[in-house]
Amino acid sequence: MKILQAIEADFEESVSRSSDETREIRMDNFNEFKKLGIPTSKQEFWKFTNPSIIKDSEFTLGLSKDYDDKKYDIIVVNGKLTKKNDDIKINNIHESLAEKKISNEIFGITNNPFINLNNAFSTEGCVLSFKDNVEKEISILNVIDNTTSKQITHPRIIINVGKNSNISILEKIRFLGNKENLVNSVTNFSLDEGSKVEHILIDDYSENTYQISNVLVKQKRDSNFSSYNYSNGKMLARKDFIIELKERGAHCDLRGVYLADQKNHIDHHTIIEHEDEHCTSNELYKGILSGKSTAVFNGRIHVHKAAQKTDAIQSNQNLLLSDDAIIHTKPELEIYADDVKCTHGATIGRLDEKGIFYLRARGIKREEAQKMMMRAYIGEVLSGMKNSEAKESLLEKIIENIPEGE
């Protein structure tokens, strides 16, 4: 595979400059990546999304450069921290490991080759640390600069939130160019007791992109993690959310909107690990597809034996605007406790013609009637968002980008 040769050459050149703090971690992860290789659709976890289509691509490691946008507190360009807010404690990964601000365990080997690959290239990145009893709203711009060459980038953001803190994070992924590229990103959240985090993720569109994204969350007692994720389909987009509710009373809320048209592809996999009693989770993902696009939603709820009194809800709803669009939806429940309440459901359909007729009968044009119905359809996903300004602008952006039907 050409891509494996290019990745190995870039890794050898990069690791030769590594410090003692990161060299062993990086080497172990890269060796595991090579052993596992790039997955194929023959593996169950990748059944409907085949990343091996990139095997003959000749990506080189993306380089960073200065970039500024005064609206954002933090800017990361091709995985490198280029702007930070002095009011927030921010370091890169190398500094944080050297100062023992983060543990080596965060870069532990996994059964996911793309996480291992990101670990192997993680030296820059961005580490945010919030102390106890802090209330803060911050904005992050995650820039992929693919203006000059075919490239691969490995953005890494690590966010640690102290006890009883309340943090709202708006993160936007912005593509500057239109060259073919692979984005392999990982974001880690660690929530201490009683903390609350709202993460709003807006993924801008770039049609020549292969994207692998992993969001990994660990929650302690009575913590609350809310995710609002908006994504456009790309040549290939795979987004995994793995949430570990590790202590009593933890709650997570995962909400997503995804759009795809033409021959684009988008895949969401969510795994929620209910590990202790009295933990709750709520998932709601909605998709709108047209053209010959394909989407995947695979949601797994795993209730461990100790997780009595679990309450978990999962729902995936999809609108197909063309006859050729395809959705693969697969809810999964794996339950080992006997005192739980778990529900899941999936729907696939078209816009309600009766509703459109009702609006048109009142003098509203068909195109406007469709937008009004879709606004209501999408609005449910964003209903719990606390950042009202972000909520309204995000809703308008989604409506503007809804694909055209037949």
Cα dist from 382 to 11, 59, 121, 273, 391, whole Å: 40, 36, 34, 23, 7
Residues 216-247 have pLDDT tens digits of 999 999 999 999 999 998 999 999 999 999 99
Residues 330-351 have pLDDT tens digits of 999 999 999 999 999 999 988 7
Closest to 220 (Cα-Cα) out of 241, 242, 195:
195
Residues 181-208 have pLDDT tens digits of 999 999 999 999 999 999 999 998 788 8
Mean pLDDT over each residue of the chain, to the nearest integer = 92
CA within 13 Å, CB half, 263: 2
Share of the chain above pLDDT 70, in %: 98
pLDDT at 299 over 90: yes
Token pair listed for 229? 């994720």
Token pair listed for 139? 């904005």
pLDDT at 352 over 80: no
Token pair listed for 235? 């040549």
pLDDT at 367 over 90: no
Region 48-69 average pLDDT: 90
d(CA 139, CA 151) in angstroms, rounded, equals 26
Confidence of residue 249 (pLDDT cuts 50, 70, 90): very high
Q: Given this model, what pLDDT does residue 282 score?
A: 97
Token pair listed for 361? 């009968």
Region 266-291 average pLDDT: 97
Q: How many other C-beta atoms can be found within 10 angstroms of the C-beta atom of residue 404? A: 11
pLDDT at 84 over 90: no
Q: Given this model, what pLDDT does residue 363 score?
A: 79
Share of the chain above pLDDT 90, in %: 70
pLDDT at 262 over 80: yes
Confidence of residue 353 (pLDDT cuts 50, 70, 90): confident
d(CA 197, CA 60) in angstroms, rounded, equals 35
Confidence of residue 400 (pLDDT cuts 50, 70, 90): confident
Residue that wins the pLDDT comparison between 334 and 402: 334
pLDDT at 38 over 90: yes
Closest to 181 (Cα-Cα) out of 149, 204, 213, 156:
149
Token pair listed for 126? 């961005």
pLDDT at 406 over 70: no
Region 149-171 average pLDDT: 95
Rg of the chain over all Cα atoms, to the nearest angstrom: 21
Q: Given this model, what pLDDT does residue 20 score?
A: 67
Q: Given this model, what pLDDT does residue 370 score?
A: 78
Residue that wins the pLDDT comparison between 359 and 240: 240
Token pair listed for 276? 């202790």
Closest to 245 (Cα-Cα) out of 276, 282, 199:
276
d(CA 153, CA 61) in angstroms, rounded, equals 6
Q: Given this model, what pLDDT does residue 405 score?
A: 66
For the ranges 8-22, 208-222, 355-369, the one whose mean pLDDT is highest = 208-222
